[in-house]
Amino acid sequence: MTGPAARAWSLAGVLCGVVFAADQAAKAAVEANLFPGEDVEVLGPIGLTLSYNRGVAFGLAGGAGAGLILLTVVSLAVIGYLFARNATRPGAWVATGLLAGGALGNLADRVRADAVTDYIDVGSWPAFNVADVAITCGVVLLVLLYVRDAEPGADDG
Render the chain in DSSP notation, one character per residue.
--SHHHHHHHHHHHHHHHHHHHHHHHHHHHHHH--BT-EEEEETTEEEEEEEE-SSGGGTTTT-THHHHHHHHHHHHHHHHHHHHSTTSTTHHHHHHHHHHHHHHHHHHHHHHSSEEEEEEETTEEEE-HHHHHHHHHHHHHHHHHHHHHSTTTT--
Residue 64 has pLDDT above 60, yes or no: no
Name the β-bridge partners of 121. 47
Residue 152 has pLDDT above 90, yes or no: no
Amino acid at site 20: F
Q: Which residues contact 131 (CB under 8 A, 6 or more apart)?
A: 19, 20, 23, 101, 102, 103, 104, 105, 106, 116
**What is the spatial distance between Cα 29 and Cα 57, in angstroms, rounded to a whole number?**
22
Residue 94 has pLDDT above 90, yes or no: yes
Mean pLDDT over the full length of the chain: 88
Residue 56 has pLDDT above 70, yes or no: no
Residue 97 has pLDDT above 70, yes or no: yes
pTM: 0.87
Indicate whether 73 belongs to any domain.
yes
Active site residue 132: yes
Q: Using N-to-C axis directions, what is the helix angle for 4-33 and 92-113, rounded to 10°?
A: 40
Provide the pLDDT confidence category of residue 62 given band limits of 50, 70 and 90: low
**What is the spatial distance between Cα 143 and Cα 137, in angstroms, rounded to a whole number?**
10
Report, as an integer, the average pLDDT of 111-125.
91
Active site residue 118: yes
Range of the domain at 110: 4-150
Indicate whether 156 belongs to any domain.
no
Task: Provide the domain count of the chain.
Answer: 1
What confidence score (pLDDT) does residue 67 get?
75
Q: Which of 23, 109, 118, 121 is catalytic?
A: 118
